[in-house]
């Protein structure tokens, strides 16, 4: 789990401006409450922020004033973020304008461009309680990141249940590994004429066991293609990567594979004690 959050902040006031310092401190305190340390890179003009986007430096999310210098807007900045380095990270825009005025400008901008600005994006008016608005946005950002660890937990818990069911249906051997038990099940519980039809299920089962073992020890990493991902480095296993980009696919495949295996195990009579 990452401990430092890197934020690129664009506001055309000077970096020492009290209002900017106050807002930055609010974001810093919100992240601190959640166990993170904020690291800010602050830019005071659009061109400087754009040049920063063109570097290979990684940022976790972006915050920007809506009304920028030389008639630039935060929406134009958002488009630059989406265009550079494959950035899909969350963007927060704030403005002194009333919320109805901001919405109107966003609709106008949508009619002029083809980008989906509502993906990983929020905006609010400083006429509201800005600390609550920042908190709400950050909760959404961290919720998506936490899905990676939640999915890792699902791999562990689903395999634990399958292993428990498997041990119930086989002769209990304390020193047998999960993969040993799967192999025993394959040869003891499947008739020879059925093994071909069950090959796909058992291949998936062996893979799930390997992925479970790999995910026992993970490191969090990032690249512009996959976004954030967990790389499993469990002992004696090939690395296994859980990517933020493919969260839904991983979850869907896991659920389908586990359901097939669980149905199969239920069909096997429990051994009499």
For the chain, which residues make up each domain, given as ranges?
A: 4-128, 145-267
Name the CATH topology of 4-128: Rossmann fold (3.40.50)
Q: Which residues contact 186 (CB under 8 A, 6 or more apart)?
A: 195, 198, 202
The predicted structure's pLDDT at residue 155:
95
Q: Which of 128, 111, 25 is nearest to 75 (CA)?
A: 111
- In order along its 273 residues, the chain shows pLDDT tens digits of 567 889 999 998 766 677 889 999 999 999 999 888 999 999 988 888 888 888 878 788 899 998 887 778 888 888 888 777 666 678 888 988 888 888 888 888 777 776 665 567 888 888 888 899 999 888 888 876 678 888 999 999 999 999 999 988 887 666 788 999 999 999 988 888 888 999 999 999 999 999 999 998 888 777 767 777 888 877 666 789 988 778 889 999 999 999 999 999 999 876 554
What is the pLDDT, as a whole number, of residue 116? 62
Q: Please tell me the predicted confidence (pLDDT) of residue 1.
A: 53
Please report the pLDDT score of residue 173 as a whole number: 63
**Structure token pair of residue 116:** 């989906």
């Amino acid at each position: 789990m990452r401990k430092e959050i890197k934020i690129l902040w664009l506001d055309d006031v000077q970096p020492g401006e009290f209002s900017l310092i106050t807002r930055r401190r609010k974001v810093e305190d919100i992240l601190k409450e959640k166990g993170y340390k904020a690291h800010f890179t602050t830019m005071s003009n659009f061109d400087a922020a754009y040049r920063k986007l063109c570097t290979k430096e990684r940022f976790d999310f972006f915050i920007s004033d809506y009304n920028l210098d030389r008639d630039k807007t935060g929406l134009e900045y958002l488009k630059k973020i989406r265009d550079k380095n494959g950035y899909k990270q969350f963007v927060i825009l704030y403005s002194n304008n009333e919320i109805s005025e901001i919405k109107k400008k966003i609709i106008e901008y949508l009619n002029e461009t083809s980008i989906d600005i509502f993906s990983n994006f929020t905006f609010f008016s400083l006429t509201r309680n800005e600390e609550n608005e920042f908190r709400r946005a950050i909760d959404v950002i961290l919720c998506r990141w936490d899905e990676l660890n939640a999915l890792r937990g699902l791999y562990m818990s689903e395999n634990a249940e399958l292993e428990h069911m498997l041990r119930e249906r086989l002769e209990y051997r304390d020193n047998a590994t999960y993969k040993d038990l799967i192999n025993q099940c394959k040869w003891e519980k499947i008739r020879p004429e059925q093994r071909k039809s069950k090959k796909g299920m058992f291949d998936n089962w062996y893979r799930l066991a390997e992925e479970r073992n790999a995910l026992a020890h993970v490191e969090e990493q990032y690249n512009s293609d996959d976004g954030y991902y967990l790389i499993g480095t469990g002992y004696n296993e090939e690395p296994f990567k859980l990517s933020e980009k493919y969260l839904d696919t991983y979850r869907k495949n896991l659920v389908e594979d586990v359901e097939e295996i669980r149905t199969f195990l239920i069909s096997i009579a429990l051994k009499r004690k």
